[in-house]
Amino acid sequence: MDPILIGGIAVFVVMAVVLGVAWGGSTLSKLALASDERVLFELEGITVSQHSAGGVTNFIRCVVRVTDRRIIVAQKALLAKDPALRFVITHAGVAGDAELGTTLKTGYISCTVAPSEIQTKLNKAGQHIWIPLRGGAIVGEQSLRFLVPDLEPWRAAGILA
């Protein structure tokens, strides 16, 4: 067998193990809520689309948990019981960029958006929640969009006007 191929496979396996150990705790059940933070509602089976200049990345079978402070997006993995975190967006505060160091340490994108920046968009598929993501080198100009069956929970939670 070709030594270059064996070396490439070895590097891939080592990186997978390192990332698995480093990011293994980045799951929905392990993300602690603040002592006074409340879960307002949760949606399951949602497809979340990350739009950027480079194209669109779809995260299927997501859980979207909305608290009075954050919108948490976690994706169910094939063999894992607990969904892995993809995005943690604080919506109660002043908009701020995602930080590269935090993303590399945790394995998910974490940023802050002003509540007024969360919008709805309507297209042929239906009603979408649209959230801008900023973060310089880590995310550039990107957005998250996800089709929701009903806007009422978002309005009742005070996230949408």
Question: The CATH number of the domain where 145 resides is what?
Answer: 2.30.29
Across the range 143-147, mean pLDDT stands at 90
| Domain assignment present for 6 | no
Looking at the domain assignment, is residue 22 inside a domain?
A: no
Q: How much is the pLDDT for 106?
A: 60
Structural domain contains residue 21: no
Q: Does residue 1 lie within any of the structural domains?
A: no
The share of the chain scoring above pLDDT 90, in percent, equals 25
**Domain assignment of residue 161, yes or no:** no
The SS3 assignment for 117 reads: helix
Expressed as residue numbers, the domain containing 145 is: 27-156
pLDDT in tens, 88-139: 898 876 545 555 555 555 668 888 888 888 999 888 888 899 998 876 555 5
Asked, for residue 46, whether it belongs to a domain, the answer is yes
Q: How many domains does the chain have?
A: 1
What is the reported pLDDT for 81? 82
34 or 43: which leads in pLDDT: 43
- Indicate whether 108 belongs to any domain: yes
Pair 52, 142: CB distance under 8 Å:
yes
Q: In the chain, what is the straight-line distance between the N-terminal and C-terminal CA atoms, in Å? A: 62
pLDDT at 139: 52
Residue 50, in any domain of the structure: yes
- Rounded to an integer, what distance in angstroms lies between the CA atom of residue 140 and that of residue 21? 28
Query: Of 96, 80, 40, 93, which is closest to residue 64 (Cα–Cα)?
Result: 40
